[in-house]
Amino acid sequence: MSTVITEECINCGACEPECPNTAIYQGGVEYEWQGAQNGALSDEIFFIVPEKCTECVGFFDYEACAAVCPVDCCVPDPDRPESEDALIQRAREIHPDTDFAEGFPSRFSKSEEAEGGGDGSAADAGDPPAAAAPVAQAGAATIVAAPSAGPDDFDVPIVCRSCAGEYAVAFRYLSPGTILRCPYCGVSFNPPRRLYMAIDQRLDRYAEQMNGEIDRHNYHVMAEQELFEANVDDVRNSAEKEIRRLVNEATEPPKKSIFG
């Protein structure tokens, strides 16, 4: 389905330069399509020409206009359902000089990945988070494995702009183009790209700090392990020598035979 701008639009204009198809126009502005000038679809707010909208399929794995919209008014049009095949075909027609190779970016593929691990709704927020750092046994020492660079199971608090209810969403479901719904009132929320990027950068720092702490811990663990093993060898060797001495002291020396 093509994207539509709802009446919540505040005419900020953030979406217009983001569209790869120049499908977004300011209210009251005529648009060109197939060599002809057409009247504005709206006189009051920005609008999207459905014949030029591809939901950014072929360019991004999210809808660029929705990613930058501060009021979340760029949403899929329920009255114009369209398949990924139809959208990529439209992209090829609009951009005949562009090579849309197999595996092109698409929000549909991202949606399929999300469905594989959950539907991206607040209901998934109750999933137990993955352990931050699994451990592996190495002799008598416990070595901590470094967490992944992108902690996707980190929970992000979302406050509904309608009912002010707060719910948590795993970071992996916060990518632009994903539509979340408030579990209390059902109002949709499309995470802005700037929010996603800000949290992504913060979680990168989290991973760096965590990895630094784990490296420090493992260094001390390995040093302690080496010292432990050396001390164990010394204690055992000392005990063996002492036992040999005790045995020698408690045992009479062998008597010489008359035969020499």
* Pairwise CA distance, residues 45 & 15, whole Å: 12
pLDDT at 126: 39
3-state SS, residue 25: strand
Annotate 194-233 with b (16+ C-beta within 10 A) or e (fewer): eebeebeeebeeebeebeeebeeebeebeeebeeeeeeee
Look-up of token digits 């900020």: 12
List the chain residues with pLDDT less than 70: 1, 110-153, 255-260
Reported as half-sphere exposure (CB side, CA atoms, 13 A), residue 134 has a value of 4
Q: For residue 186, what pLDDT is reported?
A: 82
pLDDT computed for residue 107 by the predictor? 80
The verdict on pTM exceeding 0.75 is: no
What domains are defined for the chain? Answer: 1-117 (3.30.70.20), 119-251 (no CATH)
Buried b (16+ CB within 10 A) or exposed e, 73-89: bbbbbeeeebebeebbb
Write down the pLDDT at residue 6: 92
pLDDT score, position 145: 60
Can you read off the two tokens belonging to residue 163?
Answer: 């009912």
The pLDDT of residue 148 is 47
